[in-house]
């Protein structure tokens, strides 16, 4: 038995000005920018309410898209469950796994990183 839930919505931006992109998404979604922003960073996490799905604006080299992050207490069990549903493994990183849904959408599977996981995650046999 393991648990998982939606953790992040990641907006991938092919850009030289991540702050400008984050300002747009902050205004569009109504989530404030964080108090401190690393000007050389690869991502900016907008401020969401405690327990809500996180929204991350990320600088990437590939074409712009959005992807989901699924958080789980058992990465290998969740990967196996998702493969049974038709997803395929794309690559393994140190702390997460990149997968592709049958629809062609990429998503990541990693450890829990926001509050409330034990309380609100789905339980899988």
Q: List pLDDT tens digits, range 88-120.
A: 999 999 999 999 999 999 999 999 988 899 999
For residue 113, the model assigns a pLDDT of: 87
Residue labelled with tokens 């996180």: 54
Residue 56 lies in a domain: yes
User: Helix, strand or coil for residue 115?
Assistant: coil
Domain that holds residue 51: 2-112
Residue 9 lies in a domain: yes
Residues in a beta bridge with 67: 10
**What's the domain count of the chain?**
1
Residue 15 lies in a domain: yes
For residue 57, the model assigns a pLDDT of: 97
Residue 122 lies in a domain: no
Q: What is the CATH number of the domain that holds 84?
A: 3.10.180.10
Residues in a beta bridge with 9: 55, 68
Average pLDDT, the chain: 95
Residue 70 lies in a domain: yes
Q: What percent of the chain has pLDDT over 90?
A: 90
Q: Which of 83, 81, 55 is nearest to 69 (CA)?
A: 55
Residue 20 lies in a domain: yes
Residue 46 lies in a domain: yes
Query: pLDDT class for 40, splitting at 50, 70, 90?
Result: confident
């Amino acid at each position: 038995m393991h648990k998982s839930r939606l953790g992040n919505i990641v907006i991938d931006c092919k850009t030289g000005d991540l702050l400008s992109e984050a300002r747009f998404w902050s205004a569009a979604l109504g989530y404030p920018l964080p108090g401190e922003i690393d000007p050389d960073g690869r991502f900016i996490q907008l401020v969401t309410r405690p327990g809500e799905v996180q929204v991350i604006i990320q600088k990437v080299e590939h074409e712009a898209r959005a992807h989901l992050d699924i958080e789980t207490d058992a990465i290998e069990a969740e990967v196996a469950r998702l493969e049974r549903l038709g997803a395929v493994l794309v690559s393994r990183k140190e702390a997460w796994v990149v997968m592709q849904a049958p629809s062609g959408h990429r998503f990541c599977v990693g450890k829990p990183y926001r509050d409330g996981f034990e309380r609100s995650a789905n339980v899988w046999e």
